[in-house]
Every structure is written in structure tokens, then in C-alpha cells.
A and B are shown apart, each in its own frame.
Chain A
Amino acid sequence: MSRETILRFEDVSMRFGGIKAIDGVSFEVEEGRIFGIIGPNGAGKTTIFNVISGVYVPSSGTVSSASLVLNKLPPHRITGALVGRTFQNIRLFDDQTVLDNVKIAQYSKTRYSLADVLVSSPRLRREEERIHEEAMEILGSLGLSDKAESKAGALPYGEQRRVEIARALASRPRILLLDEPAAGMNPSEIDSLNALIVGIRDRFGLTVLLVEHQMRLVMEVCEEILVLNFGKKLALGRPDEIKNDDRVLEAYLGKAHKHE
């Protein structure tokens, strides 16, 4: 059974001055997959996320989702309609509550105008009530209900990671980009992250793209893995294929490995 393609990279390059952060990368992600992106430091993993979410406009090539070309869309349009993301170095709105962090990300789904605000119209109250319930539901699904009124910056690291995921879900995305969600977590937290990723994928009907250094997590949770090295696509396949791919082992461990 073949599924719909939800994200397509066609020969995408991203140059910064003379450096090619990604270099002619092509791949497709099927809807509903958990898709891993791995590679040594500086391989271009986060750059791929930045290109998808519109932070960077690719130097060449096309990034598309179904008939929608993402290349030239501003970030808020992409994240408002299609993509939710988290950040490698947590970027929460520290001085605001967890609940408000989620509500901020509901901006595109909150349908009222400035006129509604000024006259405090019934529509405004209805919408505010609706997004409040939705936000609480999302927080509930991540086990954060009792943290709703806490300042985001005051939470421990693992919980801040979960608030970031909650915030990324708030705009009702179809694709979720997780940028090193396990960074700084202890082994037991990583185990529960595994279940969490599969759980939210099923519950919210998502496609998940995962950039991660924790190989155990990647191998367990991902159904397909893209390996990058120096901005180029090195390999693409199922976890068991990737594990045994000579080029991948070479990139990670060096040539000496072959003499074994």
C-alpha cells in the first residue's frame, strides 16, 4: 500500500556565501511516517528544517507539499497551515505562561479581527473560549495540564521540551519537525519520548520529521532515515538498511572500520 507524499525535496541546495549547507538534496516523505534525519555535526540537518519552515529560502531547487510550493512562502504562512516545529536550543517565550505559549501559536487558527477586539464581540469570546479548550487539550495530551499557569522559563528542561512540542501542535500542523528533542534528557526520559512521539503522531494524524543524535531513539522510532554528510544525501532507507550501510559507517566512524 503506497501512501501519499506529503513533503518533497527536489534537488534543493542552500548556500551561505561559499559554503553549501545542503547540496542538491532530493527526498520524499510519505504521509504518516516518522522520518529520521541523521548525520555528523554540520551535515545540514537543521538547515533542512529551516528551509522547510521558511527561515531560509533555498538557493535552488523546490520544496513542496502536494501542489503547494513552500520555497517563497513566509514562515508564518508555512507554520500556520502545514508545519509545526521545535528548536534545537529551546526557544520558548520564557516570561509567559505555558498556556500563553500555546495560545500564541494558535494565532493563525484564532479567527477574529481587530474590530472584534475593540468591541469585545461575541465572536471574540467564542473564539477565545474555543482556543482555550483546544490549548488545554493539547497540554493534557502531553501531560502538562497542571503546568498551564507556570511560567515557561521556570520549568525543568524535560518539561520545556514538551511545552515546545505542545506549542508546535497548537497551529494544527500536518507535519511536525522535532529538532533534537532528546538533547539533555536522561535515558528514562528518552524512553518515554519514544512513546510520546508515536502517541502524538497517531493522535494528531501527523507526519513527523526527527533530527536526532540519540541513535537508539532514531533506530527505534523512525520508519525511514535520511543520512546527510557535508550537506549531501549519503543514504536513505529503513533503519536496518542504514545500520548496515558501509558509507554511513564510514561517515560516522572513519575508514579504519573497513579493515575489521
Chain B
Amino acid sequence: MKKSTLLNLAVAVAGLAFCVLTEETGLISNTLKLVLEFIAINSILVLGINIINGYLGVFSMAHAGIMAIGGYAASLASMYFLPSPELFPVSLLIGGFASMLIGLLIAFPSFSVRGDYLAIITLGFSLLIQSLLENIDFVGASRGLRPIPHYTNLIWCYLCFVLAIVVVKRLVKSKYGRSLLAIRRDQVAAELVSVDVRHAKLVAFGLSAFLIGVSGGLLCHLLSYTNPGAYGYSLIVDGLIMVYLGGIGSITGSVAGAAIWQVLVQTLRPVGMWRWILGGIILIVLMIFKPDGIFGNAEFSWRWLAGKVVASGRFFARKGARSGGGK
């Protein structure tokens, strides 16, 4: 096994140990734990959005509707068929697959429609799902669903988070990932060098929707409550902000975007309404000076980190030598 793989594995296991310890002994405050859970859930959501908006380069706003489907499907499964915490993964899978089916449907218009028109179709889809849920009495209409069993904990969040990263990483390195980037650049050229564009798009939309659906399931089982209002414009905007903040076409960026936005939202809580204004300003400034997001399409790697450590070590060594010489 390669050294970096071993290192990744070690970090992943250490992370899991931390999560188990936290759940068992209350290592960190409940507020902090909730923030970590939100970051993990949002990371999965953003990874899902990034497959479509980042790698494939389609400006989609369907994630709100897809997340609603996943959240509702998983919640209903837990409430009516699977009333035990051990079966929680099954509920999550049901949410993921329900979303995936819808995602595959959305892939079809993307075969022939592009750009702004596709953006409007996906926006329409999200709003349509929201008003459907508002009008179906079986799922509580606009009152929402409750009580959804509180199955989500830090361990589940973490496990799904790690799995999501592994899945997206493998996708990106495969022929499908390569062809998504090719389609983003020049769809006709991609077709003319033998890329099956429809198949690649189906794979992308299906996997993206699955991840978004799982994040919806986790969120509902964390809050024990959900309603159609949670899947409107604010979720559409939040999702897009996190993707473009972190970096389109970057796994590291997805996680960073989710984490930074969560921390911002939490720390700006005391200023009330102003946090939306501050958030907007941050986004505008970022788009002007770093339009590719914080990470662009770069990725974290141990070698990159080692390079940074060595560079900063040199920096401080030089500084030390200079101040030493001045004395």
C-alpha cells in the first residue's frame, strides 16, 4: 500500500475514534457537536452539487428538490417501516435511491437543453417539488413531518461523509470523471472522440442526486422535523454559495466551502439579519478576486501539506536567522 493511502486510512480511523468517543463520553459541547454534524451533512450535499455544477459544468438548481425527495423518503421509511436505529442505514439508502431516480429524470432535459434554459428547468423542478409537498396531506402538507426519529449522530454523519468523499474521488479519477470534464469544456468534441455523453451525464446526475438524497435523510433525522419551507430559495442559494465558495470541481473545496459557510453562519448569528448581508458581501468579494473559489480545482494531498510545512519552516528559520543577526 502506498504511504499516502496509509496516511489517509490512519486519519479516517482517528476521525472515527474521535466521533465514537464524542458520542459515548460527551467530549465536546453539544453546540460544537451540532456544528460538526452540520458541516458533515453539508459537505455531502456540496459534493453532490459539485458533480453537476462543478465537474460537469451545468448550472443546476435542482439540489433543493432532490434533497427534499431524499429527506422525505428516508423520514417516511423510518417513521412507518423501519422503526429501529439499527435500520437507519436502510432509510438513508431509500432516501438516496429515491433521489437518484429523480436525478436520472432531470438528466434527460440536459441532453438537449443547455445553459440558462437548463438552469431555469432545474429551478422550476425544485419549486415544483416544494409546492407538491406543501399540498400532499399524507406527508403533513405545509405543517411538515414530525416526529422523525432522532437517529442521526456524529458517527453516522462522519461515516457518510467519508464514504461520499471516497465515491466522488473514485468517480473523478475514472473514465466517467475524465469525460465530465471533457463535456464541460466542449461537448461536441467529447462526442467526436467517442465519449457517450448521455451515459456519462446519467452517471453524473444519478450519483449527484444519491449523495444529495443521503444528506437530506441525515438532516431530517438530525432535526427530527422537516417541512417544505426548508427546501426553497434559501437552500438553493446556500448550496450554490457553498459550492462556489469552496471551489468548483474540487473535493477539498466542497468540504472547505461547507465548513466555512457553516462557521460563518454560526459566528454571525448574534448580528441577526446582517449575517445575510455580510454573507452576500463575502461572496461578491470572493467572486471578484477568486472566481474559481478558494481551492479552484486543486486538491488537498499530503505532499501539498508537506510542501507547505517545509515552506513555512524555511520562512520562520529565515526570520529567526535575520532577527538573530540583528542583535
Assess whether A107 is in contact with B194, with CB atoms less than 8 Å apart. Answer: yes
Question: In whole angstroms, what is the CA distance A23 to B70 when docked?
Answer: 54
Q: Kindly list chain B residues whose C-beta atoms are within 8 Å of the C-beta of A55.
A: 188, 192
Q: Which 7 A-B pairs have the closest CB atoms?
A: A105-B193, A80-B194, A108-B194, A91-B189, A75-B191, A171-B194, A117-B174
- CB pair B189–A93 under 8 Å, yes or no, is yes
Separation in Å of the A53 CB from the closest CB of chain B?
6
Interface string of B164-180 (1 = CB under 8 A from A): 00010011001110110
Q: Is A1 an interface residue (CB 8 A)?
A: no
Once the chains are docked, how many angstroms separate the CA of A74 from the CA of B181? Answer: 20
**Are the C-beta atoms of B194 and A85 separated by less than 8 Å?**
no
B191's partner among A76, A120, A167 (CB-CB below 8 A) is: A76
The smallest beta-carbon distance between B13 and chain A, in angstroms, is: 18
User: A29 at interface (Cβ–Cβ under 8 A)?
Assistant: no
A76: contacting residue among B171, B176, B181, B194, CB under 8 A: B194
Per-residue CB contact flags for chain B residues 184-206 toward chain A (1 = under 8 Å, else 0) read 01101111111111000001000
Residues of chain B within 8 A (CB-CB) of A96 are 178, 181-182, 185
Q: Report B-chain residues with C-beta under 8 Å of the C-beta of A117.
A: 170-171, 174, 176
Known: A107-B179, A114-B176. A75 touches B192 (CB 8 A): yes
Q: List 11 A-B contacts (CB under 8 A).
A: A55-B192, A76-B192, A92-B189, A104-B179, A105-B193, A105-B195, A107-B195, A108-B196, A114-B203, A118-B167, A168-B193
CA distance A106 to B196 in the complex (A): 11
Q: Which of A54, A107, A120 sits near B193, CB closer than 8 Å?
A: A107
Return chain B residues, CB-CB under 8 Å to A62.
none
B194 touches A124 (CB 8 A): no
B195 CB contacts on chain A under 8 angstroms: 76, 104-105, 107
Give the B-binding residues of A (Cβ under 8 A): 53-55, 74-76, 79-80, 84-85, 87, 91-96, 100, 103-110, 112, 114, 117-118, 120, 124, 128, 167-168, 170-171
Q: A93-B182, A104-B182, A107-B175 are in contact. Are A76 and B167 (CB under 8 A)?
A: no
| Shortest Cβ distance from A81 into B: residue | B194
A residues within 8 A CB of B196?
A: 76, 80, 107-108
Most-contacted residue by chain A among B176, B178, B189, B194 (CB, 10 A)? B194
Q: In the bound complex, how far is the Cα of B175 from the Cα of A110, in angstroms? A: 7
Q: How far is the CB of B213 from chain A (nearest CB, A)?
A: 16
Contacts of A93 in B (CB 8 A): 181-182, 185-186, 189-190
Q: How far is the CA of A93 from the CA of B191 in the complex (A)?
A: 12
Q: Is the interface of B mostly helix, strand, loop or mixed?
A: helix
Closest to B297 in A: A95
- Name the residue on B nearest A119 (C-beta): B170
Task: Give the complex CA separation of A114 and B194 in angstroms.
Answer: 18
CB pair B194 A103 closer than 8 Å = no
List CB contacts (< 8 Å) of B11-30 with chain A: none
Q: Which residue of A lies closest to B170 (CB)?
A: A117
- Residues of chain B within 8 A (CB-CB) of A87 are 189
Check B174 against A105 for contact (C-beta < 8 Å): no
A54 cross-chain contacts in B, Cβ below 8 A? 192
Interface centre among B170, B189, B190 (most CB of A within 10 A): B189
Known: A103-B175, A104-B178, A107-B175. Contact between A170 and B193, CB under 8 A?
yes
Tell me which residues across on chain B come within 8 A of A109, comparing CB atoms: 194
Using CB atoms, name the residue of chain A closest to B206: A114
Bound-complex Cα distance A6 to B36 (A): 63
Report how far A104 CA is from B190 CA in the complex, Å.
8
CA of A91 to CA of B167, assembled, Å:
30
Docked Cα-Cα span, A85 to B197, in Å, equals 17
CB neighbours of B176 from chain A (8 A): 114, 117
CB distance from A89 to the nearest CB of B (A): 11
Instruction: Select from chain A the residue with minimum beta-carbon distance to B186.
Output: A91
State in angstroms the CA–CA spacing of A167 and B192 once bound together: 10
Q: What is the distance, in angstroms, from A119's C-beta to the closest C-beta of chain B?
A: 9
Bound Cα distance A75, B194 (Å): 7
A107 to B179 Cα, complex, angstroms:
8
The docked-state distance in angstroms from the alpha carbon of A128 to that of B178 is 12
Minimum CB–CB distance for A245 against chain B, Å = 33
Contact present for A124 and B174 (CB under 8 Å): yes
**In the complex, A76→B195 CA distance in Å?**
6
A93-B186, A96-B181, A104-B182 are known; give 14 further A-B pairs, CB within 8 A.
Answer: A75-B188, A75-B192, A76-B191, A76-B195, A95-B185, A100-B178, A107-B196, A112-B175, A114-B207, A117-B170, A117-B176, A118-B170, A124-B174, A171-B194
Residues on A with C-beta less than 8 A from B171 are: 117
How long is the Cα–Cα vector from A95 to B249 in the complex, in angstroms? 12
